[in-house]
Amino acid sequence: MPTIRSVPSPPSLGPRLLAALAAALLLAPLGPWGGELLAQVGPPEEPPADWGPVSINLEGVEYPAPVEYLPMELYGEDVRLAYMDVVPPAGAANGETVVLFHGYNFFGAYFHEQIEALTGAGFRVVVPDRVGWGRSSKPIIPYSLHVMAANTARLLDHLGVERAAAVGHSMGGMVATRFAFSYPDRTTRLALVNSIGLQDYRLDGSWTGFEEAYEESLDRSWEDIVRGQRGYYVEWKPEYDRYLRIHYGWLQSGDWPRMARVRTLQSEVIFKEPVVYDWPHIEAPALVVGGAEDGEDFPELARNAAETLPNGRVHLIPGVGHNPHLVVPEKLHEVLIPFLRSGR
């Protein structure tokens, strides 16, 4: 499980956009998965003095499985798509593949519990870091859900996978939705875990414009990180400090201005590319699942999504916020794995 080494950046999205997305884009994390953790009630008031810079490409962060790279060209730039391809134990394979789509403030390594549970249940698990995130390249290019879905299809082609279930958390739910919409013949099932994009954010009219949002990203502070990170959880636990460390380390990196620009380009996608109009056209069985304490509107929005998806259903986990896969993975797996197995 990942640990962080101190090595040589993601920004606030701006108060108005954050207000529009509510709990969806709270400034969250990922970091070391091992080591002793300080006993505490809440996040540190100040960043520990030994928390140095963290590479925007996460070279100092361990992943739960070997990371491979798929070279590709996007908008005339040579980039690399990082991914994990984890197969089940010998003799346990069920012949099916699951793709895990990470959130805006995350990368594939935070699915360590799901990788273990799903491979243990016989699934091959593919976990990409989308271009612009994690260990993948950070190009200054237009970002879109269409390109993210297409890159996923290219990765599956590369791996020889014809069909897969799409499971997305947070912004990853938007990407998984667009993949299911764009590639219906390749999507066996769709699961949305505390997905954002459950409404059309354009109707809020809160996007500030790129340059203003970028300047706000550059000015991101420790207090911004802590305030956003705290909002992911009903109850703070010391192990969540690891996520603060990565985001704070990015601020100290010499590449933070580039990362801030990339993240601002990515945040535009969330605002400008609604997926709610994709739902009626997705025939694959769909599960809308998540912690019920993810903003006061989440339960209603989740139920609406499940009702709009032709073959959708909803399952809410009480007393849990935006990150059930980290807080109560066993409760998520109790629902997710039978759903992915059903109909085989």
53 located within any domain = yes
Q: DSSP string of 74-93? A: ETTEEEEEEEEEEPPPTT--
The per-residue pLDDT for range 93-107, each reduced to its tens digit, is 999 999 999 999 999
Q: DSSP string of 24-54? A: GG--------SS-----SSS-SS--TT----
pLDDT of residue 261: 97
334 located within any domain = yes
2 located within any domain = no
Q: Are the CB atoms for 2 and 32 separated by under 8 Å?
A: yes
Percent of the chain at pLDDT above 90? Answer: 81
1 located within any domain = no
10 located within any domain = no
User: What SS3 state is found at 167?
Assistant: strand
24 pLDDT higher than 90? no
pLDDT band at residue 22 using 50, 70 and 90 as cut-offs: very low
6 located within any domain = no
The C-alpha atoms of residue 246 and residue 248 are separated, in whole angstroms, by 5
User: What SS3 state is found at 67?
Assistant: coil
Domain carrying residue 322: 15-341
The C-alpha atoms of residue 158 and residue 165 are separated, in whole angstroms, by 17
Q: DSSP string of 104-160? A: TT--GGGGHHHHHHHHHTT-EEEEEE-TTSTTS----S---HHHHHHHHHHHHHHHT
Number of domains in the chain: 1
The per-residue pLDDT for range 110-145, each reduced to its tens digit, is 999 999 999 999 999 999 999 999 999 999 999 999
The C-alpha atoms of residue 214 and residue 205 are separated, in whole angstroms, by 18
pLDDT band at residue 208 using 50, 70 and 90 as cut-offs: confident
Quick one: tokens of 127? 């976990």
pLDDT of residue 42: 87
Mean pLDDT for the chain?
Answer: 89
Q: Does the predicted model carry a pTM greater than 0.85?
A: yes
314 pLDDT higher than 70? yes
342 pLDDT higher than 50? yes
pLDDT of residue 40: 55
Out of 154-168, 205-219, 311-325, pick the least confident.
205-219
The per-residue pLDDT for range 161-205, each reduced to its tens digit, is 999 999 999 999 999 999 999 999 999 999 999 999 999 999 987
Q: How many CB atoms lie within 10 A of CB 68?
A: 15
pLDDT of residue 1: 41
Q: Which whole-number Å values give the CA distances from 273 to 175, 178, 200, in the listed order?
A: 10, 10, 8
Q: DSSP string of 289-303? A: EEES-SSTTHHHHHH
Contacts of 134 (CB under 8 A, 6+ apart): 57, 58, 82, 102, 107, 108, 109
Q: How many CB atoms lie within 10 A of CB 37?
A: 13
The per-residue pLDDT for range 30-86, each reduced to its tens digit, is 333 333 333 457 899 999 999 999 999 999 898 999 999 999 999 999 999 999 999
pLDDT of residue 343: 56
The CATH number for 43's domain is 3.40.50.1820
Quick one: tokens of 7? 């090595």
320 located within any domain = yes
